[in-house]
Amino acid sequence: MVAVARVVAPYASKISHRDSFEWLRTFRSLSSRNEGDKNYIGGALLLALAFDNSPPTPLELIRESFELIHEAARRESLSDSAWVIVEPFVPELAWLSNWDKCERLRRGLVSAFVRNNWPFRSWSGE
C-alpha cells in the first residue's frame, strides 16, 4: 500500500470518486502491524481521499486516519512524504502560520464537512 500510495497520491483527487473500501481494508491490515511511517503514508492517503469525499463512506476514512495523522503532526513525527499526500487537501494559512500542520488539518476537516454537507451526527456518534 505504501508504494502505491506514493505513486497515486498526486492523483488522489482523480481516484477519489472510486470505491475506497479496498484502501480502507488494506490500511487496517497495515496499521495492525504498527509500522510507523508506513502507517502515516497510508493514513495520509485515506485522509486525502476522505477530504475529497471518496465513496462509499468518507467519514469512515476520517475516523480511521484523522487522529493518527493529526497526532503525528502534533508530535512532529509526520514525515514529509506523508505530509505531501494530504497537504493539497488542507487550506493554506497566513504566511507566518502555514507551518502549523495541526491547524491546517483541523481546518481541512471542518472545510470537508461544510463542502460535502456531511451530517455532524454521523461523526459524533449521536
pLDDT tens-digit readout, 29-56 = 877 776 666 789 989 999 999 999 989 9
pTM, rounded to two decimals: 0.84
Written as one string, the DSSP assignment of the chain is -HHHHHHHGGGHHHHTTS--HHHHHHHHHHHTT--THHHHHHHHHHHHHHHTT-SS-HHHHHHHHHHHHHHHHHTT---HHHHHHHGGGS----TTTTT-HHHHHHHHHHHHHHHHT--HHHHHT-
Q: Please check the confidence at residue 125 and state whether its pLDDT lies above 70.
A: no
Domain ranges of the chain: 2-124
